Amino acid sequence: MSDKSTEVNFEFRQRLNKIIGGNHHNFCYQCGACVSLCPTAKYSTEFNPRTIMLMALLGLEDKLIAPDSIIWKCTNCYTCYERCPQDVRPVDVITALKNICVAEDRAPDIITRYSAGILDTGVSTPLSVAIAKRREKFGLPKFNITGYDEMKIILDREDSK
């Protein structure tokens, strides 16, 4: 029998498949085109989108979903998506993996902190008194968030965690 470490974790892959963009990891044939112009791969010897796709294919949950997972160093620049001949969309697979990290409460704090701002106010940047004054000085219209109530309603769903 083979070594345990080579067994594929299909359960994890099935979980990944269900997330938007996650199923595209199945198309990867490990050619490495995604690495060629990946900016993070240029600046970090640890980061390699091809290896991340391989880890997804093997279902290496412990590494991919670890609190210090390498996936958070992706710049989201979409160069891998542009290069991939198989439509794997590696950046989207990485985003799907990030969604699992968040669901498992293993994401960097900044993700929840930043998202909470949007969920609480409807905008990603708070409207400060200083900015309101500056807008007035520049002759800009008052900034109002009027879509917040509707946003709250559409985010309420039966299947949410």
Q: Provide the binding-site residues for another protein, judged by CB under 8 A.
A: 19-21, 39-40, 43-44, 72-79, 81-82, 89, 95-96, 98-99, 101-102, 107-108, 110-112, 114-115, 118, 122-128, 131, 134-135, 138-141, 143, 145-148, 150-151, 153-157
Output the smallest distance, CB 54 to another protein, in A: 21
Q: Could you tell me the two tokens for 116? A: 């909470």
What span, in angstroms and rounded, lies between the C-alpha atoms of 63 and 17? 18
Between 7 and 114, whose beta carbon lies closer to another protein?
A: 114
Between 8 and 132, whose beta carbon lies closer to another protein?
A: 132
The residues near 131 (Cβ < 8 Å, ≥ 6 apart) are 143
Contact at 8 Å (CB) between 135 and 94?
A: no
Between 8 and 73, whose beta carbon lies closer to another protein?
A: 73
Output the smallest distance, CB 127 to another protein, in A: 6
CA dihedral 10, 12, 13, 15 (to 10 degrees): 120
Contact at 8 Å (CB) between 47 and 40?
A: yes
Amino acid code (one letter) for 97 = L
CA dihedral 153, 155, 158, 161 (to 10 degrees): -140
Output the smallest distance, CB 58 to another protein, in A: 22
Contact at 8 Å (CB) between 96 and 105?
A: no
Between 14 and 76, whose beta carbon lies closer to another protein?
A: 76
Output the smallest distance, CB 3 to another protein, in A: 33
Output the smallest distance, CB 141 to another protein, in A: 7
Between 8 and 39, whose beta carbon lies closer to another protein?
A: 39
